[in-house]
Chain A
């Protein structure tokens, strides 16, 4: 065992200033991890903030000889997963608003990126269904079907252009697993979008 009983030979814990400086440097990675686990960007920064405060409270548990990003990423993942769990619990029952919506206007398309946009597009024969918004909506749907770790791997690879060995360290998975997550995620996104045929389907003018 290393270290005396008073831990005197262990290097001192990070100071809050050092912690903040390191955190600032690696926030893009942590943000991408949070956004990947959650599948959306809206709460990613809040998650990183929450994880940062947890990290701040556990500075004496961080060993300087270990990888700071990996340590913080672990906390970000747990906070994100907890958030995801709470969110899915809240979504198990439709809200009053949703119930009202369903009862009041059953003919109204519920998918904001779907039928309504198709109708709008149909008014303009020159406009393609596969406009940017529709593509974005379908991509979001496809992303939502991926597992959180696969999404995180995909974003770290695609958005931050990290190497697989870096992703492996950050997400605490073997390098081969990171690689297969990215490969399969890309495949699934492509399959989903091709199945929805949103890439090049022109809208037929109304007769």
Chain B
């Protein structure tokens, strides 16, 4: 396929120089794979992750709460037929995020959330480094948002970040027992959604701010 830039000598020269200067070194794949196999033979095979009773109980609790919230959400609102910019019901968003938390992976470093945010929105977020972050999650109701789950002590908190002008609004409903906090950080909007009782006791739930 002919690229429109191919007819432009300068663009052609830039592309050629990039291809020459950034040609992938021959054999790189084999070297990387070999180093992985060497390391795997050297280190004992990782044991399958064993879940402790407390974590099993927490998972079961989250599952039960998620199911309950999903049921609450579907009884409150007919999800189909909503106008595109209608505020999202907190219950369904929370339930869906809890349901998508499996396989989300854990942030490998304390700056990962900030990095992802910086990449996606051009603004880096700073979160207390002691707070473990699980993410990213997929929010089907708000696909452009960056969604992660964080653990605020014993309380799971869902964070959703997006550009302010894409904020559909998240509507708290006292009946579903969720606490919703909304913040505007520069050009970003951030929501924290958590279960009501434990979250309300320690508002603001989490200190999230923009990197200066």
Contact = CB atoms under 8 A, between A and B. Distances in A.
Interface stretch (B111-119, B125-133, B181-189): B111-119
B210 interface: no
Nearest to A19: B36
Contacts of A194: 10
Interface string A62-79: 110010000100110110
B21 A41 contact: yes
A23 B49 contact: no
Given A31-B28, A41-B22, A1 B63 contact: yes
A23 B32 contact: yes
Contacts of A154: 18
Interface in B73-121: 98-99, 102-103, 105-106, 108-109, 111-112, 115-116, 119-120
Contact of A5 (B59, B108, B109): B59
Candidate in B24, B67, B102 with the most chain A CB atoms within 10 angstroms:
B24
Contacts, number: 149
B22 A82 contact: no
Interface SS of chain B: helix
A88 interface: no
Contacts of A66: 103
A158 interface: yes
- Most B-side CB within 10 Å, residue of A25, A174, A189: A189
A45 B36 contact: no
A66 to B, nearest CB: 7
17 contacts: A1-B63, A1-B66, A2-B102, A6-B51, A19-B36, A19-B40, A28-B29, A31-B28, A53-B35, A53-B36, A53-B39, A58-B108, A60-B46, A85-B111, A186-B11, A189-B14, A190-B11
Given A16-B45, A60-B46, 11 more contacts: A1-B102, A2-B102, A10-B102, A21-B33, A25-B29, A32-B24, A41-B22, A61-B105, A155-B18, A174-B144, A186-B11
